[in-house]
Amino acid sequence: MTHWLKTTAQTLFSKNQHSSKLTRSSSIRHLTAINNLTVDIINSILEKSHFYSQIIKNKEPIPKVLSDKVVANLFFEDSTRTKFSFEVAAKRLGASVLNFSPETSSVNKGESLYDTLKTFENLGVDIGVIRHSDDHFVESLKTKLNFCIVNAGAGKFEHPSQSLLDLFTIKEEFKKLTDLTVTICGDINSSRVAKSNISLFKKMGIKVLLCGPESLLPPPQKLEDNCQVSTLKEAAKVSDVLMFLRVQHERHQAFELSIENYNNEFGLNHNIINLMPTNSIVMHPAPVNRGVEILDELVEHPKSRIFKQMENGVYTRMAILDWLYCNEE
């Protein structure tokens, strides 16, 4: 190749690469918080979740809509369900998946988290599924990185994919989202799941009752207008869904909990389940502390949808990945 041809080719390549980068940046979508989603987008994700659930249940071919994409699971906190359901979801859609472990990464050599994420950007990652202990770290990345970002759990702040799969589970169970009451019981202040669900249920017109130790509930002045505080016994009688939360000792230092008494006051036991309406269900984002939030023998009670939530997590996260990268506005 002559010097002129080589120079021209290099110039064209540089321009095209720059143009592609700018186009991609301007159209990037993220899922970092429920309040960033419109009701139309939420309903679209629910419909796509149902679509993927039916394809998989009927053993039909799954559209490989991410066949040329790379998804990186970038988890700076422990996870089982979220991490691996995103991996299963991405692989079912045809993506290549990278699983990052901070324990064996250059973070241990002093590399900043930002430089670690820039490394994945320049390796060609298209979607980064990120979990971090800081409330706002994931949100802060939206304008800094040239790939789609999914908040897979941010401190005490939000866990939007969990709340979307919870909503999908409720929609599949009741075939509607109107005129429903959901009780969330437990460590509300420390729960990113509770915060995402409260925001999501408010958007969808679902009434929320909150139960738990007084020190773990938000003060009255900070309650959303779709929320009320209740005792578990009273809530159990009128709720379509009883959702229990794990007590998160790692997110607060001063709270002392009597494990022996917790289930009697704030957990699912035989007395509480007997108060529930006939068609009501039990949910928990897991992991479950058996015998604490829920008695061991009730985890798989006919009312329980705990393992169904895990199954639905794959369908919903397939829908999220599809929406992030594939659908047009």
For 111-268, list the strands marked E by DSSP.
127-132, 148-154, 181-185, 207-211, 227-229, 241-244
Say which amino acid occupies 310: M
Rama region for 59: left / alpha / beta (φ>0; ψ in -120 to 50; rest): left
Partner residues linked to 158 by β-bridges? 154
The DSSP annotation for 151-190 comes to: EEEETTTB-HHHHHHHHHHHHHHHS--SS-EEEEES-TTT
pLDDT, residue 152, reads: 96
pLDDT, residue 10, reads: 40
pLDDT, residue 128, reads: 97
Q: Residue 140: phi, psi to the nearest 5?
A: -70, -15
pLDDT, residue 249, reads: 58
pLDDT, residue 268, reads: 97
pLDDT, residue 82, reads: 95
Q: How far apart are CA 147 and CA 130, in angstroms?
A: 12
User: What three-state secondary structure class fits 209?
Assistant: strand
pLDDT, residue 328, reads: 43
Residues 6 or more apart whose CB falls under 8 angstroms from that of 4 comprise none
Q: Which residues of the chain have pLDDT under 50?
A: 1-26, 251-254, 328-329
pLDDT, residue 251, reads: 47
pLDDT, residue 4, reads: 36
Element (H, E) at 75: strand 70-75
pLDDT, residue 160, reads: 97
Q: Mind listing the domains of the chain with CATH numbers? A: 29-159+312-325 (3.40.50.1370), 162-304 (3.40.50.1370)
pLDDT, residue 278, reads: 97
pLDDT, residue 207, reads: 97
Instruction: Identify which of 166, 139, 136 has the alpha carbon closest to the alpha carbon of residue 150.
Output: 139
Q: How far apart are CA 89 and CA 71, in angstroms?
A: 10
pLDDT, residue 107, reads: 77
